[in-house]
Amino acid sequence: MGDDTWDLKKMQVNYGGGNLCGESVPGITKIKYKEFVNEIKEVAITSQLTTHAVLGVVTTKRIATLRVTRAYRTVSAEAALFLAGTPQGDLLALERKRVKSKLDDPDRAYSKDEIRGAERDILLAARSNRWSRGVRGAWTRTILPDLIRWTKRCPKDLTFHVTQALTGHGCFRYYLHRMKRAPDAACLYCQHPEDTAEHTIFDCVHWDPLRLPVKMFVGNRNITPGDVQDLLCGPSDVPSSENDRL
Ligand SMILES: [Zn+2]
């Protein structure tokens, strides 16, 4: 790390405002702040850039990620980066470092494109491995367990409402109660004690009419969290690349 005297604790992070069904959301949480500081440290160590340079890259990337996915700022970095298809800073820094060292090798046997392509695959495998072993973003991981399928074939436009469903952070009473924006977590429509994203999307009888077209689409059966990846990315037995599908 280039700048030892720089105090990370003095950083003030602002991901930009947002609101929660008309109410302002709480500021950055201690956990998110810790994640942010850890990412800065990891990227600085792996890339050997100065902390200021890393701060610029990571801050811009994280803000862009939250904006691209239209996610609430309470969404974990893991889930936001996953949905945006953005690699973690430390993995990206390592990939850039490997590419540079291979391109600088005077005896290299492969072209630039071949080296970059191979390193992209290694990066994707590393991201996939980290996603499957992750802890935060549990709901997103439950419905979208396969990072490689998501990265290659995710929907082009993640709307504000789709992102709420995919993260569980939005107008669900369970979440609002956690954020101290609702007196309890119960569903307003059926009084189920926990109005989570799962309850609203898959179970609540109030939303049955809206669920009907999807139910018919999957063969006249109830949809489950296990259907989400297939519905959004297509069936797993269809090749990702268009050339392979021809
Ligand atoms: Zn309900």
pLDDT in tens, 83-116: 888 888 778 878 888 888 899 889 988 999 999 9
Report the separation in Å between the CA atom of 227 and the middle of ligand 1, taken as the mean of its atom positions: 20
Report the separation in Å between the CA atom of 187 and the middle of ligand 1, taken as the mean of its atom positions: 5
CA dist., res. 26 & res. 15, Å (int): 12
Q: What does the mean pLDDT of the chain come to?
A: 78
Residue 5 has pLDDT above 50, yes or no: no
How much is the pLDDT for 88? 80
Report the separation in Å between the CA atom of 80 and the middle of ligand 1, taken as the mean of its atom positions: 27
* Burial of 170 per CB tally in 10 Å (0-12, 13-18, 19+): buried
Report the separation in Å between the CA atom of 194 and the middle of ligand 1, taken as the mean of its atom positions: 8
How much is the pLDDT for 51? 62
How much is the pLDDT for 168? 93
How much is the pLDDT for 25? 37
CA dist., res. 179 & res. 177, Å (int): 5
How much is the pLDDT for 153? 78
Report the separation in Å between the CA atom of 153 and the middle of ligand 1, taken as the mean of its atom positions: 31
Mean pLDDT, rounded, for 226-236 = 88
Q: What is the pTM of this model?
A: 0.72
How much is the pLDDT for 18? 40
Phi, psi of 111 (to 5 degrees): -75, 165
Residue 245 has pLDDT above 60, yes or no: no
CA dist., res. 184 & res. 178, Å (int): 9
Q: Are 142 and 225 in contact (CB under 8 A)?
A: yes
Report the separation in Å between the CA atom of 18 and the middle of ligand 1, taken as the mean of its atom positions: 26
CA-closest candidate to residue 2, choices 54, 68, 38: 54
CA-closest candidate to residue 224, choices 208, 203, 205: 203
Report the separation in Å between the CA atom of 196 and the middle of ligand 1, taken as the mean of its atom positions: 9
Phi, psi of 161 (to 5 degrees): -75, -40
CA dist., res. 62 & res. 15, Å (int): 8
Q: Are 126 and 102 in contact (CB under 8 A)?
A: no
CA dist., res. 175 & res. 153, Å (int): 29
How much is the pLDDT for 241? 57
pLDDT in tens, 139-192: 999 999 999 999 887 776 778 888 899 999 988 999 999 988 899 999 999 999
Report the separation in Å between the CA atom of 176 and the middle of ligand 1, taken as the mean of its atom positions: 15
- Taking residue 106's Cβ as centre, other Cβ atoms within 10 Å add up to 4
Report the separation in Å between the CA atom of 43 and the middle of ligand 1, taken as the mean of its atom positions: 43
pLDDT in tens, 15-53: 344 443 433 333 444 445 666 667 667 766 666 656 665
Report the separation in Å between the CA atom of 190 and the middle of ligand 1, taken as the mean of its atom positions: 4
Reported confidence tier of residue 69, pLDDT bands at 50, 70, 90: low
